[in-house]
Amino acid sequence: MDIGDWMLRTGDQVCEGKMMDRIEIKDLLLRTIIGINEEERRKRQDVLINITMFADMHAAGASDDIADAVNYRTITKQVIQRVEGSQFYLVEKMAAEIADICLQDPRVKRVRVSVEKPGALRFARSVGVTIERGRQDI
């Protein structure tokens, strides 16, 4: 099995020849205006967001200094402000804007963003999208 097959099986990310570490923000529940139907645009709806940022965390692990780390608290605050302060028609647009926020930190090499709308479909718990973006996409 070559490295490409191994990476596909494990879901690992490689950038610039190095394995990437992960920062995961799980189940961020926010409220925003989202949807294309008139009734969806009248009141805020719940959205469930999951973010995985891929970065090299060797420096932060060695130094124990926040200046060497991806500040996930700052990124989360920016995501909250953007999502709750905006109105979206599509979850795809929301996911793309969240990815852009994450990639503003130059240490973040890649990001995976999932956005779900709980209860949007009658017989489903939720519906959503997952996108991946890299530095080349900004």
Q: Taking the domains of the chain in order of start, what are their residue ranges?
A: 3-137
| Whole-prediction pTM | 0.87
CA atoms within 13 A on the CB side of 132: 6
- Which has more pLDDT, 64 or 1? 64
Q: In this predicted structure, what is the pLDDT of residue 20?
A: 87
How would you classify residue 35: left for phi > 0, otherwise alpha for psi between -120 and 50, otherwise beta? left
pLDDT category, 8, cuts 50, 70, 90? very low
Percent of the chain with pLDDT over 90: 83
Please report which confidence band the pLDDT of residue 13 belongs to, taking 50, 70 and 90 as the band edges.
low
| Span 97-128, pLDDT tens digits | 999 999 999 999 999 999 999 999 999 999 99
Known catalytic residues are 117
Residue 52 has pLDDT above 60, yes or no: yes
List the single range of 2-6, 42-46, 92-96, 113-117 with lowest mean pLDDT: 2-6
CATH class of 3-137: alpha beta
Q: Give CA 27 to chain center in angstroms.
A: 11
